[in-house]
Amino acid sequence: MIAPQKGVPVVTVDVTYDVGSRVEPPGKTGFAHLFEHLMFEGSENVGKGEHFKHVAEAGGTMNGTTSEDRTNYFETLPAECFEMGLFLEADRMRALVLSEEKLINQREAVKEEKRLRVDNQPYAKSFEVTDDLAYDSFPYKHPVIGSMDDLDAASIEDAREFYNRYYAPGNALLCICGELEPEDAMTKVRRWFDEIPARATWQPEMPQEPEPTGVERRAQISDPHAAVPAVHVNFKVKERRHPDVLALTYVEKVLCGGESGRLWRKLVKDEEKALSVTVTIDERRGPSLFRVFALARPGTSPELLEEDVKAELARVISEGPSEREMERARRMLMADALRTVQTTQSVAFLLSEYGVYDGDPGLWREDFERILSFSASEVRDAAARCFVTSRSSVVTVLPGTPGTPMQEIA
């Protein structure tokens, strides 16, 4: 996919593979993220560490990311250097060099990353608990970073099998965005990618996440790194691009879109019950999560915050957003969209996501037009379908004793 963006003298080369943590079976978790690390360990014509060196010397930036649903690798380079990005991505797609030494090295790097970003960060583990509580099927229950026991058990044969299975050309989408001429760019793409042999692609049969039924799910944990109590109030909703999930983007802005958001203003500013409140929609190819996370001020219980959060959600269901709130949210959503198309990197990510997930990069425009068309009553009705007890899960976090592991206490 080639997306010219005139007037911006850089080009982003993005390769997105249709592999994320959701494909991992029990006993093999963390492999998608581990492989993101291994892909920077060298290929046939690029030695260990040279990928970073080449991009930095050209004045560019690069990275890779792994989610539940995909893994991507990207370089943003001066326009005259973008063919380097094609060469680097093609070389490791065609001939990644794997070894026992590299596997051990990057396994330790992932362990250190987990210690820094999860194990020793306040509230980080509670987000893993929320996913485990909300979902029933394995693909979305386990964290992207995986189990360290599973990674310790991984062999070099496992790594080679994973590469051959998921890093085939037919399982990837290449997007180039920036200051380029399409015909010239396609000639360069063919120069580097046409020689890569086709390999069979294989996607596991994904277990279906059942529709939620029954009572609200609850857990309480003790976090030794937490300074104050906190609460997660989540709702398992439909998959990304579902009309109800698109409508909830308005609820997100109405509740917590800046200092004028209902929930933020009530809990943080007016009543001073919370240190912070965030509302996000964690969109996934399977069921998504509507997340509310609040940090309590000293003296405020997480139970009180939960009560206030649910009261505001109930108010959305009963009253819906006002016309003024809808217009404000619509303007914020338009500003978000404009920011998304201002950089070559964000455009490449957007097009790649729709290309891999839906087979049509242009669908993002259709979704955005649909979002802008929602009425207050449609948003209210979507909230009424989504914010029901059977879809709800609540995790409260209490400060624990420093030096002790996080514990689930209820």
- The answer on pLDDT for 405 being more than 80 is no
Task: Tell me the two tokens of residue 235.
Answer: 């709702």
Average pLDDT, the chain: 95
- The answer on pLDDT for 258 being more than 90 is no
For strand 172-178 and strand 61-66, is the pairing parallel, antiparallel, or unpaired?
unpaired
- The answer on pLDDT for 52 being more than 70 is yes
- The answer on pLDDT for 93 being more than 60 is yes
| Cα separation, 346 vs 348, whole angstroms | 5
Strands across the sheet containing 61-66: 2-4, 172-178, 10-17, 71-78, 61-66
Q: Residue 33: which H helix or E strand, with range? A: helix 31-38
What integer pLDDT is reported at residue 205 of this predicted model? Answer: 84
| Cα separation, 100 vs 105, whole angstroms | 9
Of the candidate ranges 55-59, 87-91, 196-200, 314-318, the one whose mean pLDDT is the lowest: 196-200
| Cα separation, 302 vs 395, whole angstroms | 9
What integer pLDDT is reported at residue 73 of this predicted model? Answer: 98
What integer pLDDT is reported at residue 379 of this predicted model? Answer: 98
- The answer on pLDDT for 410 being more than 60 is no
What is the average per-residue pLDDT within 308-321?
Answer: 97
- The answer on pLDDT for 8 being more than 90 is no
Task: Map out the domains of the chain with their CATH numbers.
Answer: 2-193 (3.30.830.10), 217-408 (3.30.830.10)
What integer pLDDT is reported at residue 162 of this predicted model? Answer: 93
What integer pLDDT is reported at residue 92 of this predicted model? Answer: 97
Question: Per-residue pLDDT tens for 341-360?
Answer: 989 999 999 999 999 999 99
| Cα separation, 286 vs 348, whole angstroms | 22
What is the average per-residue pLDDT within 215-231?
Answer: 96
What integer pLDDT is reported at residue 378 of this predicted model? Answer: 98
For strand 71-78 and strand 61-66, is the pairing parallel, antiparallel, or unpaired?
antiparallel
What is the average per-residue pLDDT within 208-213?
Answer: 90
CB neighbours of residue 61 within 10 Å? 14
Q: Which residues pair with 396 in a beta bridge?
A: 220, 231
What integer pLDDT is reported at residue 408 of this predicted model? Answer: 65
